[in-house]
Amino acid sequence: MVREDLTAFPLVEALQSWAIIVGVLAGISLVLALLAALISTGGAGFNRAVGAILDAFVDVLKTSPGRVWALAMLTFKESARRKALLVFVIFGVLFMFAGWFLTSSDMRPDLQITVYVSFVLTTIGYLIVPLALLLACWGIPEDIRRRSMHTVVTKPVRRSEIVLGRVIGLTGILTLVLLIMGGVGYVWIVRQIPASQQAELVSRVPIYGMINFYNAQNEPVDKGVNVGDVWTYRSYVQGASKAHALFTFEGVTPGVLVDPDGAGGDAEPVLQLESNFEAFRTYKGDMTRGVLVQYTYVNPANPNIRVTDPNPFPIEEFQKNIHNVPQELTAYDVETGQAKTYNLLEDLVAKTATVELPDQYDLTKSSTHSLTNGLQIEVSCLDQGQYLGIAQPDLFIRTPDSPFAVSYFKAIFGLWLMVGLIVTIGVTASCFVKGPVATFLTFALLVVGYFGVEFMQGLLTDYVQGDDGYGGGPIENVVRIFQHMNPTTDFQPSIGVTIMEYIDKAFLGFLWVVSHVIPNLTDYDLAKYPAHGFDIDWSRALLPAVATTFGFLIPCMIIGHLGLRFRELEAK
């Protein structure tokens, strides 16, 4: 089961934040550089520094694609001569014996596929990252040590072209390595899966919906019943009551219907709902079956048109629960008992609808949503004394599946973006320092970017927005320590307190900017999607990785160019 943030990546907000961060850091760096030149050598040094910076940007504008390509090809050939392709030996040895230890006849087919795909993509990542790190961080320092860099810069080649050519060349050789390993891994996965289980090797394309919870009195609540589970991922709906979870979908068109047989037969296409709910039992009950779940389909434009699914089903925990909804549904009038037939797409799906849904975090407010081809589904539990655990990704409309190769190679593309980021940062670091230091610096950024950057950025964002609870910035905390004040005590309003708050906001804002210099490497962790049989969505998964890589590319190219331009290339 893939647990993910279902919000689309806010590209416009990301571009605005990127512009602010780059602008602030560039402005601070420029001011510090000019001040250092002015203090060290006076007005003449200041003028030389301004001239050197202007010349550097002129170099960038006069970059020649031909020379960049020539340097890229030279880097490609040098990397091949450094036996970079020997990584295939390790890769081959791992795959020769992997089948012995990963195959299990007792495992469900979907879990077996998860093991195979996770192993392949994780192995490729563990092999390609150290290779990219070493090639990127040791190339330029080694050329400077051997004085071959001096031979290059004496030719009509600009420093910006050296940096850009190095990045393109290293990315090229690593792309070749990645494609070969990815292709071999795909063939290995397909050959490991028996023919009888090949149908499980797909990429599901889900349509997720918005979720709202309602209690036993049919009143909106921010979350379901608290059953004492320390993991708050799911909220629980009380059984045999009016309590339910309301899912609001849009984009329900004839194109999302699937063949129930999955073999292109003559059966009428159905709306396929897949769920992964969890049951919480207050007593054992009937242990031979799961807790009963029932769907009710509601037209969002006219809530009076509602059809209760006549086929409730028991959930099977920790595996897929697929429920096919036919296009023709029959409902019985509660008062008259007369049967009426509804067409799913014509009667229950609203072509256009405007719905007001309660805000999950503030029930006194509501938000208006305009739906196109919308459908609402109420999920309720039928068993008395039992509870149904539901989270937003637990129910989705399963549209026609994509080939497994689509999701798999999207994950390979994500690894390629990560390789490009590592090469960019490594080459930039090597323009300033020697190989070991550049390697350590880049590796430290990778470790923090994978394990700690989300926590750090979230903490600083809360401080900047004033959502940190008690306490404030560093100046406020120092004052509280000296005055023996606890964090719950408020300061008396004064000019000094106002100045202190402004200084803290400026300091924390600067820390927020600095924290975003570290890339968020969790954006590249895409192996979970093909491993669990899901397609990789562009707006939620791939776009953040693309934005992160290209967001670092432009500033790093400029920084690397300036570092190489002002570095002494004759020093060993």
pLDDT in tens, 331-390: 877 677 788 889 999 999 999 998 888 876 666 677 888 999 999 999 999 999 899 999
Strand pairing of 366-381 and 350-358? antiparallel
Q: Same structural domain for residues 55 and 172?
A: yes
Q: Same structural domain for residues 385 and 420?
A: no
CA distances from 85 to 78, 119, 129 (A): 12, 21, 14
| Neighbour count for residue 498 (Cβ, 10 Å) | 11
- Decide if 218 is inside a domain: no
Pick the last residue of a domain from 366, 390, 414. 390
Q: Same structural domain for residues 283 and 175?
A: no
Per DSSP, the three-state class of 356 is strand
Q: Same structural domain for residues 258 and 189?
A: no
The pLDDT of residue 139 is 84
Q: Same structural domain for residues 131 and 164?
A: yes
Tokens standing for 379? 């999920």
Share of the chain above pLDDT 90, in %: 31
Q: Same structural domain for residues 444 and 561?
A: yes
Using 50, 70 and 90 to split pLDDT, how confident is the model at 206? very high
Which of 36-40, 74-78, 269-273, 454-458 is predicted most confidently? Answer: 269-273
Pick the last residue of a domain from 390, 418, 434. 390
Q: How far apart are CA 240 and CA 233, in angstroms?
A: 23
What is the value of pTM for the model shown? 0.86
> In the 3-class helix/strand/coil scheme, how is 300-342 assigned residue by residue?
CCEEEEEEECCCCEECCCCCCEEEEECCEEEEECCCCCCEEEE
State yes or no: pLDDT of 468 exceeds 60.
Answer: no
Q: Same structural domain for residues 433 and 505?
A: yes
Beta-bridge partners for 14: none
Q: How far apart are CA 259 and CA 398, in angstroms?
A: 11
Q: How far apart are CA 541 and CA 29, in angstroms?
A: 33
Among 46-55, 216-225, 389-398, 562-571, which stretch is predicted with the lowest mean pLDDT?
562-571
Q: Same structural domain for residues 408 and 337?
A: no
Sheet with 271-275, side-by-side order of all strands: 202-208, 395-403, 271-275, 321-325
pLDDT in tens, 135-183: 898 888 887 887 776 666 556 778 888 888 899 999 999 999 899 889 9
Q: Same structural domain for residues 485 and 524?
A: yes
Using 50, 70 and 90 to split pLDDT, how confident is the model at 414? very high
pLDDT in tens, 1-27: 565 667 788 888 888 888 888 888 888
What is the DSSP code (8-state) at residue 454? Answer: H
The pLDDT of residue 4 is 62
- How many domains, the chain? 2
- Decide if 429 is inside a domain: yes
Percentage helix, strand, coil for the chain under 3-state DSSP, each rounded to 5? 55, 20, 30
Residue 413: phi and psi, rounded to 5, are: -60, -40
Q: Same structural domain for residues 186 and 133?
A: yes
What is the DSSP code (8-state) at residue 216? Answer: T
Beta-bridge partners for 252: none
Provide the b/e sequence for 513-552 (b: ≥16 CB within 10 Å): bebbebbebebbbbbbbbbbbbbbbeeebbbbbbbbbebb
- Decide if 177 is inside a domain: yes
Q: Same structural domain for residues 557 and 507?
A: yes
- Decide if 572 is inside a domain: no
- Decide if 570 is inside a domain: no
pLDDT average, residue stretch 495-511 = 83
Q: Same structural domain for residues 329 and 429?
A: no
Among 62-66, 86-90, 121-125, 404-408, which stretch is predicted with the lowest mean pLDDT?
86-90
Pick the last residue of a domain from 356, 390, 424. 390
- Decide if 221 is inside a domain: no
Radius of gyration, CA atoms only, the chain: 29
The pLDDT of residue 535 is 92
Among 14-18, 195-199, 371-375, 455-459, which stretch is predicted with the lowest mean pLDDT?
455-459
pLDDT average, residue stretch 309-314 = 90
Tokens standing for 128? 């390609």
The pLDDT of residue 51 is 78
State yes or no: pLDDT of 245 exceeds 90.
Answer: yes
The pLDDT of residue 265 is 63
Structural domain of 300: 234-390
- Decide if 519 is inside a domain: yes
- Decide if 344 is inside a domain: yes
Q: How far apart are CA 187 and CA 110, in angstroms?
A: 18
The pLDDT of residue 389 is 93
